[in-house]
Structure formats: structure tokens, C-alpha cells
Amino acid sequence: MRRLVLLTTKASLPYTAFSYLPGDILLVGRESAGVPATVHEAADARLVIPLKRPMQSLNVAVAAAMIVGEATRQLGGLPHGQAASERW
Ligand SMILES: C[S@@+](CC[C@H](N)C(=O)[O-])C[C@H]1O[C@@H](n2cnc3c(N)ncnc32)[C@H](O)[C@@H]1O
């Protein structure tokens, strides 16, 4: 089964504390207004990127890059799973 994983400022589970699976659909909201309540409720998981106040949200492209990077890292998609400093 594929899961709809929503990145939203209105969540409590940090995106780094979630276990991603192959086939997960990662969804971000509109820059201006996020997603409608119906989409929020329909998601299988809702994740947040914790921010220090007074910051309230990130640019949507930055937020998308962060969740894709974390999901890729967890699923072994980064080269050898090593930090750059270990390869050189
Ligand atoms: C600029 S934000 C939308 C701000 C909107 N006022 C809201 O509260 O939903 C655009 C999208 O980026 C993602 N996003 C930005 N910052 C985020 C954060 N700290 N945690 C989770 N998602 C974030 C979400 O998908 C959000 O819908």
C-alpha cells in the first residue's frame, strides 16, 4: 500500500522521526496557504520540520528538498551511505 506523507507546519511529528518506505508519496502544500483541511485529514502521515521561533515556515522548495533528502538517506539512496568526509 502506498502512503500519502504530508509535510505541514500543522503537525507534531518531526520529519526525521518518521520511517519512510519505498513507494511513499511525499506531498507539500502551496507556498501561500499549505493544503486544504480535506487533504490534511486524508494524509496517512503528517510531518513537520521543527523551526525556532519566530520562524514559522520554510520556502516550499527548501522544505521539499529536506524531506526528500531524509527519505533518500533512510532508504539507502545516498552514495554508500557515507558522509563526504569518509569518501575522500
Ligand atoms: C510556505 S509553506 C505554507 C505556509 C502556510 N501559511 C501554512 O501554514 O501552511 C509551504 C509548504 O512548505 C512546507 N513547509 C514549509 N515549512 C515547513 C515546516 N516547517 N514543516 C513542514 N512543512 C513545511 C509545507 O508543505 C507547506 O505547505
Report how far ligand 1's centroid is from the alpha carbon of 72 (Å): 20
What's the confidence (pLDDT) of residue 16?
Answer: 98
Which residue type occupies 47?
Answer: L
pTM of the entire predicted model:
0.91
* Gap between the Cα atoms of 85 and 80, Å rounded: 12
Could you read off the pLDDT of 14-43 as tens digits, one per residue?
A: 999 999 999 999 999 999 999 999 999 999
Give Cα 8 distance to the centre of its chain.
Answer: 8
What separation in angstroms does the CA of 18 have from each of 14, 24, 32, 54?
Answer: 7, 12, 26, 25
Domains of the chain and CATH, by start? 4-78 (3.40.1280.10)
* Gap between the Cα atoms of 87 and 84, Å rounded: 5
Q: Is any atom of ligand 1 closer than 6 Å to the C-beta of 45? A: no
Q: Is any atom of ligand 1 closer than 6 Å to the C-beta of 26? A: no
Q: Is any atom of ligand 1 closer than 6 Å to the C-beta of 74? A: no
Q: Is any atom of ligand 1 closer than 6 Å to the C-beta of 28? A: yes
